Chains A and B, each alone.
Chain A
Amino acid sequence: AQSVTQLGSHVSVSEGALVLLRCNYSSSVPPYLFWYVQYPNQGLQLLLKYTSAATLVKGINGFEAEFKKSETSFHLTKPSAHMSDAAEYFCAVSDTGGFKTIFGAGTRLFVKA
């Protein structure tokens, strides 16, 4: 069965610093992987997705993630944090058959001025 683990329920960075949010997955088949962002009292918005076309995936708002099969990881990065990046971030894997997406527990990103 597929699963997702997000390391660190809370991450705090200074404005302008590197953002690194960690995600490890478990899957017996090549996975489809996603990162979503959720702002307070809102639904989830897709940042980027990995569908096996390229291991380095670029998303919206300057975020990118690298698929590393050997490490079963899909960490999310952004070179320079902005105050508006403060939100909850979810890593997710799509189950075989496509009908079920499994989400991690989420990482809350705090950005300090």
Chain B
Amino acid sequence: ETGVTQSPTHLIKTRGQQVTLRCSSQSGHNTVSWYQQALGQGPQFIFQYYREEENGRGNFPPRFSGLQFPNYSSELNVNALELDDSALYLCASSLGAGEADTQYFGPGTRLTVL
């Protein structure tokens, strides 16, 4: 069974650019959540996708957007990058979108904005 994978591992962008991060969910999982983890902090919830529909969103501006595909893989897009967007971006997949569903995390994408 393949776990959650993310690509790329590292990424360097300049302010104002756009970036796309990718996540492949664990086999059989229909829910993907994205988190932003700034240095020295806990992960902050960005949004969740359940069966290709956005199922909830945290306190992030609209320039953070996402997609979930029929195979349940997912993308996180960030437009007009700002310096504060520098962080580790984690995705997590789960069997469902319930409160008790265990989330399985990928290794993350380290984004640096210069």
Contacts and interface: CB of A to CB of B under 8 A. Distances in A.
Q: A and B from one assembly?
A: yes
Interface of A: 32, 36, 41-46, 49, 51, 90, 92, 94-106
B4 A99 contact: no
Contact of A106 (B41, B56, B58): B41
Enumerate the 6 nearest inter-chain pairs by beta-carbon distance, A residue then B residue, closest first: A99-B56, A103-B42, A43-B105, A98-B99, A44-B105, A94-B99
B103 A101 contact: yes
A48 to B, nearest CB: 10
Contacts of B92: 43-44
Contacts of B103: 46, 101
A99 B97 contact: yes
A102 B45 contact: yes
A101 B33 contact: yes
A99 B110 CA distance: 24
Interface residues of B, number: 28
A51 B98 CA distance: 11
Contacts of A98: 97-101
Contact of B100 (A49, A99, A105): A49
A51 B105 contact: no
A61 B73 CA distance: 30
A3 B108 CA distance: 24
Given A98-B101, A99-B97, A104 B108 contact: no
A97 B105 CA distance: 20
A96 B99 CA distance: 7
Given A43-B4, A43-B90, A99-B48, A49 B55 contact: no
Nearest to A92: B42
17 contacts: A32-B99, A43-B92, A43-B105, A45-B105, A92-B42, A94-B100, A98-B97, A98-B100, A99-B48, A99-B50, A99-B56, A99-B97, A100-B58, A103-B43, A104-B42, A105-B42, A106-B42
B66 interface: no
A32 B99 CA distance: 7
Nearest to A95: B99
